[in-house]
Structure formats: structure tokens, C-alpha cells
Amino acid sequence: MTTEKIDGASVSAQANVYFDGKCVSHTVTLADGTKKSVGVVLPSQLTFNTGAAEIMECVAGGCEYKLAGSDSWQKSGPGEKFSVPANSSFDIKVAEAYHYICHFG
């Protein structure tokens, strides 16, 4: 099931802009202090590095991704998630805008 909204949260008004504007997100902080980011990746092929473990949830659009150490690309569409370990990376290919929620932890 796709997350459509996040209740009881504060949103950072300043955007996080990465890769010359190909990825734009906003930080969301829940009442319990949990942080997430909500954003979009525009058509491109990028490599993201992780500090904390992440779960990428597709809200709309789609992507293909390849985790560090893997040779195979996987697809992720609306309502689907993929996990990325802490201190790792993943490659992402986006043909149409990929709207996501990044759950940290």
C-alpha cells in the first residue's frame, strides 16, 4: 500500500537539492523525532551513498535500482519498497519522475 500522506509532522521549508536538481527532497520530522525525506528524482541515472539504513518507498512513477555489490537491476513502482544498508550505495535509473519517501533507520 502506498503512503499518501504523513500526519503529525513538521516539514523543512528549504529543499535538499542534489545532482544539479535531478533529485529534490524535503526533510519531514515526526512527533517522535523520526526523520524521513519526501522527494522526487527526475529522469537520470545517479548513484546515492547512504549513511543510515534506508527504505525507499515509491509513491508514484518508478525506477530501476541496483544495490552496491549487485550486478542486477530491479524495478520499483508505486507501493513498492526497497532497502539499502547503512554505509552503502545504490544506483538508480529513472525514465519518468520517481516520487518517493525515504524512511531512515
Per-residue pLDDT of the chain (105 residues; tens, 9 = 90+): 788 889 999 999 999 999 999 999 999 999 999 999 999 999 999 999 999 999 999 999 999 999 999 999 999 999 999 999 999 999 999 999 999 999 997
The CATH number assigned to the domain with range 33-104 reads 2.60.120.10
**What's this model's pTM, rounded to 2 decimal places?**
0.94
Contact yes or no for 97/61 (Cβ under 8 A): yes
Beta carbons within 8 Å of 31's beta carbon, 6+ residues apart? 8, 9
